[in-house]
Structure 1
Amino acid sequence: MTLLVVQALNGVQLGLLLFLIAAGLTLVFGVMDFINLAHGVQYMLGAYLGVAFAGLTGSFWLGLLLASVVAGVTGIALERLVFRHLYGRSHLDQVLATFGVILTLNEAVRVLWGTAPLQMPMPDALSGSFQLMEGLRYPVYRVALIVAGLLVAVGLAWAVNCTRAGMLIRAGASNAAMVSALGVDIGRLFTLVFGIGAMLAGFAGVMAAPLVSVEPSMGDNLLILAFVVIVIGGVGAIRGAFVAALMVGLVDTLGRTMVTDAFKAALGASAAARVGPAVASMLIYLVMAAVLAIRPAGLFPAARDA
Structure 2
Amino acid sequence: MEEPFLLLDEQLVPCKATWKSGQVTVELKKVSSLAAPMAAVTIAQYLLPVISVMVAGHNGELQLSGVALATSFTNVSGFSILFGLAGALETLCGQAYGAKQYEKIGTYAYSAMVLNIPICVLISILWIYIEKLLISLGQDPDISRVAGSYAFWLIPALFAHAFFIPLTRFLLAQGLVLPLLYSTLTTLLFHIPVCWAFVSAFSLGSNGAAMAIGISFWFYVVILSCYVRFSSSCDKTRVFVSSDFVSCIRQFFHFGVPSAAMVCLEWWLFELLILCSGLLPNPKLETSVLSICLTTASLHYVIPAGVAAAVRYDLNFQT
TM-score normalised by L of structure 1: 0.31
**Greater percentage in helix:** 2
* Higher Rg: 2
